[in-house]
């Protein structure tokens, strides 16, 4: 009788045993992470933070290591607009041959592995999984007052016939005092794979990081991204995540405003169809006074897709004069689509301004008729109204090329999935 094929956590642990001597950097955090994963397992539905997103498909899959690139990834790369300095990763590994000349502020994790102290592998099994198995990633370090311009990190996943691969990139972005950087991330691929990136971001005093993320993974992919962002006094972390791809995906962002007058924008839009499930979860911690956080998260849900938004704002006792705003809106294009929205406020300071709201609706029949009465066919009228719904969110992206990339991605999505 054959032994059952290991899946889920046992398979990941077995892979770690096989790989561990070859993984870069200090082995101690990896061993600790393996212990966390062995003890906790992947988060289940009894875990409140994972109530709406079921990782069963990850438990049941046997992921294997990506091989050295088998196929030309040029076709995939051609789909990515060239914005700023482009750095390309294939199946999680940095590919200097496909990238622009890397700037001096960039180092590949594979050669300079170190783990930051923002990520919390002890609390988050997926972060532990990443810590245990991370092979490569982008380390970007801007010195004081530097202008890093625009860097695009491209993640391409290639199809490995008969294999379901997993890769766990580890990115660290440090924008030192007074420095500024626009970081664009694009993830796409073909076939079935797990992309499980962890990104640690430190925005220091008066620094600005503009972070524009496009998740356009293959329709059968799993994408589970966790980001930790720490924003010091008068620093700005301005992020936007557009989710279009993946069979099952989650973006979890933890932003902590550690210094007075820090600003965090965690905006997002998700456009889903078929059986897609996408979860945008954010935790904003106001730990210092005069901080500002802004969030507009929009879901457009067609087919029998499911969109999840969980947004938690915590205001510490001495984070007085905090200004927090959060809005979550969903547009259901089909009776079988579903949205789960869970906003939470936890406020310990007494002089703060925090508001949040959530709306769920269908396309407005009056608006549709108005457009059709002017000669616009029904499908085009729906597309116009959906784009109008999304534009308020996407307009928040001030970087012209990055915003154009997102608008283009939405248009392309609509051409491929006319409602």
Which chain residues interact with another protein by CB under 8 A? 365-367, 369-378, 380-381, 384-385, 387-389, 391-392
Tell the smallest beta-carbon distance from residue 385 to another protein (Å). 8
364: part of which helix (H) or strand (E)?
none
Residues in the chain: 419
Residues 6+ apart with CB under 8 A from 191: 157, 158, 159, 160, 218, 220, 221
Tell the smallest beta-carbon distance from residue 331 to another protein (Å). 12
Cβ 248 vs Cβ 275: under 8 Å: no
Tell the smallest beta-carbon distance from residue 302 to another protein (Å). 19
Listed in order, strand segments (DSSP E) in 136-197 are 138-142, 147-157, 165-167, 170-175, 180-189, 193-195
Q: Which is nearer to another protein, 65 or 380 (CB)?
A: 380
Q: Which is nearer to another protein, 274 or 377 (CB)?
A: 377
Q: Which is nearer to another protein, 348 or 370 (CB)?
A: 370
Q: Which is nearer to another protein, 47 or 411 (CB)?
A: 411
Tell the smallest beta-carbon distance from residue 410 to another protein (Å). 12
Q: Which two tokens stand for residue 343?
A: 């906003």
Residue 419 burial (CB < 10 Å; 0-12/13-18/19+)?
middle
Tell the smallest beta-carbon distance from residue 368 to another protein (Å). 9
Tell the smallest beta-carbon distance from residue 369 to another protein (Å). 5
Give the torsion through C-alpha atoms of 224, 39, 19, 173, to 10 deg.
40
How many C-beta atoms surround the C-beta of residue 156 within 10 A? 24
186: part of which helix (H) or strand (E)?
strand 180-189
Q: Which is nearer to another protein, 75 or 388 (CB)?
A: 388
Q: Which is nearer to another protein, 3 or 365 (CB)?
A: 365
Cβ 178 vs Cβ 147: under 8 Å: no
Complete DSSP assignment for 72-106 = --HHHHTTS---SEEEEEETTEE-GGGSPPPPTTE
Q: Which is nearer to another protein, 141 or 329 (CB)?
A: 329
Tell the smallest beta-carbon distance from residue 412 to another protein (Å). 18
């Amino acid at each position: 009788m054959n032994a059952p094929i290991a899946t889920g956590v046992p398979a990941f642990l077995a892979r770690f045993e096989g790989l561990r001597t070859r993984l870069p950097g200090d082995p101690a955090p990896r061993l600790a992470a393996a212990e966390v994963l062995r003890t906790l397992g992947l988060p289940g539905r009894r875990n409140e933070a994972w109530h709406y997103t079921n990782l069963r498909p990850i438990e049941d899959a046997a992921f294997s290591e990506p091989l050295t690139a088998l196929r030309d990834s040029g076709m995939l790369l051609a789909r990515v607009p060239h914005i700023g300095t482009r750095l390309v990763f294939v199946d999680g590994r940095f590919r200097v041959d496909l990238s622009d000349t890397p700037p001096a502020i960039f180092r590949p994790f594979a050669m300079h592995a170190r783990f930051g102290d923002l990520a919390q592998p002890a609390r988050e099994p997926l972060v532990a999984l990443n810590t245990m198995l991370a092979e490569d990633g982008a380390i970007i370090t801007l010195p004081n007052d530097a202008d890093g311009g625009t860097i695009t990190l491209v993640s391409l996943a290639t199809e490995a016939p008969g294999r379901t691969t997993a890769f766990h990139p580890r990115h660290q972005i440090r924008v030192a005092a007074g420095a500024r950087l626009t970081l664009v991330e694009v993830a796409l691929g073909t076939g079935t794979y797990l992309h499980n990136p962890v990104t640690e971001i430190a925005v220091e005093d008066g620094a600005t990081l503009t972070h524009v993320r496009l998740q356009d993974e293959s329709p059968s992919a799993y994408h589970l991204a966790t980001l930790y962002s720490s924003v010091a006094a008068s620093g700005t972390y301005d992020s936007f995540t557009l989710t279009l791809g993946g069979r099952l995906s989650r973006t979890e962002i933890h932003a902590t405003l550690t210094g007075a007058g820090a600003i965090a924008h965690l905006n997002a839009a998700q456009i889903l169809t078929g059986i897609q499930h996408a979860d945008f979860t954010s935790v904003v911690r106001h730990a210092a006074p005069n901080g500002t956080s802004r969030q507009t998260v929009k879901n457009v849900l067609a087919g029998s897709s499911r969109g999840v938004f969980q947004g938690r704002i915590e205001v510490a006792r001495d984070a007085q004069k905090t200004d927090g705003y959060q809005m979550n809106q969903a547009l259901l294009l089909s009776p079988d689509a579903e949205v789960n929205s869970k906003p939470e406020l936890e406020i310990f300071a007494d002089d703060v301004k925090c508001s949040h709201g959530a709306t769920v609706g269908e396309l407005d029949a009056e608006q549709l008729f108005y457009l059709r009465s002017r000669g616009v066919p029904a499908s085009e009228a729906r597309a116009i109204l959906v784009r109008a719904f999304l534009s308020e969110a996407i307009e928040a992206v001030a970087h012209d090329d990055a915003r154009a990339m997102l608008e283009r991605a939405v248009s392309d999505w609509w051409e491929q999935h006319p409602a």
